[in-house]
Structure 1
Amino acid sequence: MDRKIYKTGQTRGADDDQIFQNRVGRNSTVLIPFAVWIQNPEVRAKQYENGFIVLIPPGEYFETENEDISSYGLEIGVNTLVYYERRDEWLKFNPEERGFFPPSSRTSPLGGQFAARIANTTSANDERINIGYTTSGLKGAGIRLYEYADTDNLRTTRVQLEAVFWHAVDAEEKMLGAGMSQDDISVRRAAKIDEAKNLGLLDYARLEEARILNAARELVCPLCLEPISAAGFLSRLPQASGRERHDLTVTEINLFHIQELAYGVFNHRPYNLGWGHHHCNVVCKDAGIQATLEWMATVLRRNRMLN
């Protein structure tokens, strides 16, 4: 349970073919698309604990006759990189021919001017191009902007998430079965709930409005609103017969963002995080709860008409 709470402060996974870091703290260096930077004052005004890197597409940088990006507070090689994702841009605006070289740091100054993640093309027999932030000590440039949260939010959300966990209908029973003593359960539950109250994180009206708890103050899945059993925090997701994977570590209950993660907003924060069914989380994806419910209602109406 401690590990599960701790992991809520980490980003999602990323492989070597992506520019992002793999499962690091949400307060790490932030990668910001150039279009988002220039269009969103909140993104520009945010103080990022470990800095930021703006990624500008080569076509946008070179074809505007090196438009003065300094008016946006940016400088190539300092806090901005030309970022290559398309092979045609690599061929047209080859960075090495322009004297550019890959960065050596995630913090300003970056020590280089470009990075590239270009997939191979089987039909053309082109090789993959991965340049910049590929060494073992500097793997991945940073995290997705919408996953960012500062240290204070990481601390308070973890407190709130454990406090609401103890509101699961069978939390004490399942923790007993998992090996905790009754005394340990009583002490820990009381301590976490008191800590949440003292920090203003246990406003039951707000938690109910956010779909984190129900009117009976029971922990519920934010999408389907079914009361959650604490057993789901401890058991791995059931796997279809014949398709089992020995390395699957996904549990039945996962972190659930009430207002979905999106560019320009910072939604990893108190009163926006609950616990929900893995399946409900997958159904919601990045659409958000309200949009998903409307889609589900449409599907149900169509099926009633068919029947």
Structure 2
Amino acid sequence: MTLTVAQLSESELLARIFPRLHAGSSMLLGPGDDSAIIAAPDSRTVISIDTQVQDKDFRLLWPNGSTSTGYDVGWKAAAQNLSDINAMGASATAIVLSLTLPSTTPVSWVEQLAEGLSAAIVALGAPQCSVAGGDLSGGSEIVVTVAVTGTLDGAAPVLRSGARAGDQIAVCGNMGFSAAGWALHESRVSAADFTPGLALAARLFARPEPPLAAGAVAARAGATAMMDISDGLLRDAARMAAASGASLNLDRTVLAKLAEKLAEPAQLLGVDPLAWVLTGGEDHGLLCTFPAGTPLPDGFLGIGSVLSLEAAQAAVTIDGQNYKGAVDGALGWDHFAV
């Protein structure tokens, strides 16, 4: 018989969770008191928060028969939050999480979530970040909310509002793989029939791999603007353009080369892979701008240039033209449109 959270007290469930949480060097006092205490080496604190909701952000059982394990959901919770801190040119110091759990949730699923959260922190390159505690509650669906703090270590933050005409646009990290993985999960293609190429897309959807070392590197290299690509390149580029009062023009030839990496799942599902690169979210790569002529850091790929609004007709263009290849009519992820 599967042990569920309804069969344990809150204290008993916490006793199973706490030993699975990563304790990094930033934590001075960890879970168990009314509040945790985290070292603050900089006088400023960077903070962000993200939520995953069952059947909105993940399914326990997907149409193709795949499951979202607690480990997967915990990993993604860490990845998406650590990526937000990275996009400011900062380093994460602590995570706290809030869990809403139906009474039928298996205890093993919750234990796996704690393990996935902690594993991602270490594997993605933020071992100094501690899981400092959180809150438990009951509800009709699983909701995982994670808040993260970070430090700038004396550096200036890199904002999305700094792009200027003449800057070069660059990206770092995976592009379109998570969207391809989501499409595979929503399809009827069984995971048992996945080729290595399909399995890679499915894995990067379930467990994204943001380039956490790249944020600080980009900041030191002189990045003028930077943000996490969470809702799709086009949608997030439009946000950067609006914040900067500029227009971003992307190079179709370079983007097409990125799309070639997704040819296998695209051919199987009958999708233009460029659409995944442009509109797919949750890879959590970095979108940056650098002054013209600045050598791009290792791992960054130039994909276009920043124009003045007077020189362009739209906030984001591809080879000077509006993009008309939306997937299912959408140009990126919108939490209230799906």
| TM-score with structure 1 setting the length | 0.24
Which is bigger in relative contact order (C-alpha 8 A, separation at least 6)?
Answer: 2
| TM-score with structure 2 setting the length | 0.23
Greater strand share, structure number: 2
Question: Rg larger in 1 or in 2?
Answer: 1
